[in-house]
């Protein structure tokens, strides 16, 4: 797929991976619609683009807002479901409010938006759905149980959709990066101070940049790839597939010695 001239909608476009993805796809000639709840930073993203874009202040966790938005936006060729939030805390210390917040943004937001825009893609016989999940949707981490739950769900959703949509002209790509240096941690709800300290000041050698993820995402769309796993932590995913019990022991050891 050549993204030149395609109408791309990016959620969570006010910062991080969403902003970098918007810039990368605009450079490749795409027409952009940008979605976020942060209107000020969304406008900052728009000004970074080499071409003009339309911005929409929408809370994708709000079902009514998503419905109204989907009816107003022009036909979308490529939907990048990127918006996400995180809760870092032992599961027993999380609340129903935490669950609703995480599921609303990370899971039901993409489901609702995809459900609203997909019929038009199927009718046109072309389209591409992108889900920015996480390596946390392939391998789990302690104290990120809620986050992994939503991301595992998105990985499964994308895989099932790809099978369901085979032959319709609509492709699906799931992107699973490891730790990325974005502003996500600033909005994260922490119930664990060790994790907060680690993510506030990670080691210099640790983490990818948003631009790297955006470039890989754009390449994956053009190449119609199903799954993209990024970052050095992906060795944990490979190990999990080959030797699950060994992977469990390694993950527990790493967690204890980095965020304990």
Q: Residues 213-242: pLDDT tens digits?
A: 999 999 999 999 999 999 988 998 999 999
Q: What mean pLDDT, rounded, does the chain reach?
A: 90
Burial class (CB in 10 A: 0-12, 13-18, 19+), 147: buried
pLDDT in tens, 80-109: 999 999 888 889 999 999 999 999 999 999
**What sign has the CA pseudo-torsion 205, 82, 125, 26?**
negative
| pLDDT confidence bin for 252, thresholds 50/70/90 | confident
Task: Read off the DSSP letter of residue 75.
Answer: P
Q: What is the mean pLDDT of residues 15-28?
A: 97
34 phi and psi angles, rounded to 5 deg: -115, 135
As a whole number of angstroms, the distance between CA 193 and CA 65 comes to 34
The pair of structure tokens assigned to 79 is 């939907």
How far apart are the C-alpha atoms of 11 and 100, rounded to whole Å? Answer: 19
Question: Domain 7-232: which topology?
Answer: Rossmann fold (3.40.50)
Task: Write down the residue that tokens 């910062």 correspond to.
Answer: 15
Domain limits, the chain: 7-232
Count of beta carbons in the 10 Å neighbourhood of residue 28: 17
Q: What is the DSSP letter of 180?
A: B
Distance CA 7, CA 212 (A): 22
How far, in Å, CA of 119 to CA of 92, rounded? 40
Q: Where are the alpha helices (DSSP H) in the chain?
A: 16-27, 39-48, 63-72, 96-102, 109-124, 145-164, 184-187, 193-200, 210-223, 234-242, 244-258
How many Å from the N-terminal Cα to the C-terminal Cα in the chain? 45
Interval 27-40 mean pLDDT: 97
DSSP summary character for residue 48: H
Among 113, 24, 119, 135, which residue's Cα sits nearest to residue 62?
A: 113
Residues carrying an active site annotation: 147
Q: What percent of the chain has pLDDT over 90?
A: 74
Q: Rounded mean pLDDT of 141-151?
A: 91
User: pLDDT confidence of 205, banded at 50, 70, 90?
Assistant: low
Residues 56-74, mean pLDDT to the nearest whole number: 96
Q: What pLDDT band is residue 206 in, cutting at 50, 70 and 90? A: low
255 class by beta-carbon count within 10 Å (0-12 exposed, 13-18 middle, 19+ buried): middle
Contact 174, 129 (CB under 8 A): no
Residues with Cβ within 8 Å of residue 48, at least 6 apart in sequence:
19, 22, 23
């Amino acid at each position: 797929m050549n993204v030149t001239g395609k109408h791309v909608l990016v959620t969570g476009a006010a910062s991080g991976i969403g902003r970098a993805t918007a810039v990368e796809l605009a450079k490749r000639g795409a027409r952009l619609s940008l979605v976020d709840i942060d209107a000020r930073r969304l406008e900052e993203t728009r000004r970074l683009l080499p071409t003009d874009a339309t911005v929409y202040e929408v809370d994708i966790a709000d079902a009514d807002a998503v419905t109204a938005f989907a009816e107003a936006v022009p036909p979308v060729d490529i939907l990048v479901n990127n918006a996400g939030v995180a809760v870092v805390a032992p599961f027993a210390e999380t609340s129903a409010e935490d669950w609703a917040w995480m599921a609303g943004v990370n899971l039901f937001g993409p489901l609702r938006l995809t459900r609203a825009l997909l019929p038009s893609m199927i009718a046109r016989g072309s389209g591409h759905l992108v889900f920015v999940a996480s390596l946390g949707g392939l391998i789990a981490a302690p104290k990120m149980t809620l986050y992994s739950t939503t991301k595992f769900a998105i990985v499964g959703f994308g895989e099932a959709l790809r099978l369901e949509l085979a032959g319709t002209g609509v492709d699906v790509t799931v992107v699973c990066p490891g730790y990325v240096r974005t502003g996500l941690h600033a909005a994260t709800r922490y119930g664990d101070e060790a994790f907060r300290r680690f993510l506030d000041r990670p080691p210099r050698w640790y983490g990818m940049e948003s631009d790297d993820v955006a470039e890989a995402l754009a390449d994956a769309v053009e190449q119609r790839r199903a799954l993209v796993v990024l970052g050095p932590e992906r060795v944990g995913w490979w190990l999990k597939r080959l030797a699950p019990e060994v992977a469990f022991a390694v993950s527990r050891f790493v967690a204890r010695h980095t965020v304990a």
